[in-house]
Amino acid sequence: MTKLRVISRRELAKHASEDSLWVAYKGKVYDVTEFAPDHPGEPEFVLQWGGKDVTKVMADAHSHEHSDAAYDILADWVIGELEPSADGDGADADADRAIKPEDVDLNQDPGNLAALDAQLVDDLARQKKDLLDLSKPLVWQMLTSNFSKDFYLTQVHIPHHLPEPAYLFGNPILETLTRTPWYVVPIVWVPVVAYLAYEASKVYAPDMIASLFVAGLVMWSFFEYTFHRFLFHIELLLPDHPFALTFHFLCHGIHHHLPMDRMRLVLPPIFFAIIVQPPWFAFRAFLDFPTCAGLFAGGVAGYVIYDLTHYYLHHARVYTAYLRDLKKYHLAHHYKEYNAGYGITSKFWDYVFGTVLDYTSKPKKA
């Protein structure tokens, strides 16, 4: 392991801007410049602690208590060790007494590591057990993996952050097909909504079209919940096989592993075009085309609202109380408890089915 350089407190204090943002935590210094714009609490929260020691504030439940996932992400940005304080008190003293990573043989038996500082053990375990090498194409690694389902499910729900989108494929053409900018969703699907509404208008009056449209929105909201809970989070029924784990990873696992990947937050148009086919033909089996058109105009519009809301909750600065609450709620699904809080645009179905996530509770321990 490369020896970390020692960084003075004076140097740390110089890096307190959006262009260069460092923080100290338990005796180590982290460059969080690239991560700050994607911080779940928005960049302003990180910026106010730029150039300072965040050891206490990261554990402060009243300020901004962090989950275990936050510390895993933080570990990716370590750049040095903070010089010891003059009085040797507090977190710095603990860090000074801790065994340094460069002094540890990562190949020794884990049972012999019991004497190490607890935080160091966590860091070493994380370094040895990363799910994938994020610098290389991910799909081939998944297909040729030999880890168990339990290991995969534990590791894939540990969030990581990359400044640029990860690569799924080495082939540039295949890779391009996996990336979808947010604005593609309205460009592709709003015309479809307009077409379906137009077809319904050939038969129904405006009030009936509005009723079908609203019914379609409700239909989508239920589909949004069930799809997220019972397909994306199908962990209990997932076979313990590389192909099945790869399928899960491509459907949703990658989003939990890299939750701030801007290119994989909305569904590729071809994917939504495929999954909308079964419900369309199911409804067409007993409803005429104009009625289905009115319903699916609302359903597809609901999907557009869902995907744009999802992207917004991850990457935008929210200004209304409702969206701020939704943002905290959804990010808690990523960073605290992934087995609850399945609603994206609304908590309604979470209340109905008893899966409401209390984002004010203490983070779940691994």
Domain of 58, CATH number, reads 3.10.120.10
Q: Which residues does the annotation place in the binding site for heme? A: 39, 66
191 plus 274 within the same structural domain: yes
31 plus 171 within the same structural domain: no
* Residue 314 CA to its chain's centroid (Å): 8
Does some domain include residue 103? no
Angle at 121 between CA 90 and CA 149, to 5 degrees: 135
Number of domains in the chain: 2
- What is the predicted pLDDT for the residue at 273? 95
Does some domain include residue 46? yes
Q: Which residues does the annotation place in the binding site for Zn(2+)? A: 228, 233, 252, 255-256, 310, 314, 330, 333-334
Does some domain include residue 67? yes
142 plus 70 within the same structural domain: no
- What is the predicted pLDDT for the residue at 114? 44
> Whole domain around residue 70: which residue ranges?
1-86
Does some domain include residue 226? yes
77 plus 150 within the same structural domain: no
Query: Do the Cβ atoms of 256 and 159 come closer than 8 Å?
Result: yes
Under DSSP, the state recorded for 19 is: S
- What is the predicted pLDDT for the residue at 95? 43
Q: Which amino acid is at 301?
A: A
> Which residues, 6 or more positions from 226, have their beta carbon under 8 angstroms from its beta carbon?
349
pTM value surpassing 0.85:
no
Long-range contacts of 193-196 (CB under 8 A, 24+ apart): 193/297, 193/300, 193/301, 193/304, 196/293, 196/294, 196/296, 196/297, 196/300
- What is the predicted pLDDT for the residue at 362? 59
78/2 Cα distance (integer angstroms):
12
Does some domain include residue 98? no
Token reading at 98: 């801790």
- What is the predicted pLDDT for the residue at 68? 66
170 plus 302 within the same structural domain: yes
Q: Which of 24, 53, 86 is the last residue in one of the domains?
A: 86
63 plus 183 within the same structural domain: no
- What is the predicted pLDDT for the residue at 154? 92
Does some domain include residue 94? no
Does some domain include residue 227? yes
Q: Which residues does the annotation place in the binding site? A: 39, 66, 228, 233, 252, 255-256, 310, 314, 330, 333-334
- What is the predicted pLDDT for the residue at 88? 54
242 plus 154 within the same structural domain: yes
Task: Report residue 158: phi and psi, to 5°.
Answer: -95, 110
Does some domain include residue 116? no
* Residue ranges in the chain whose pLDDT is less than 70: 1-2, 40-42, 60-69, 86-129, 361-366
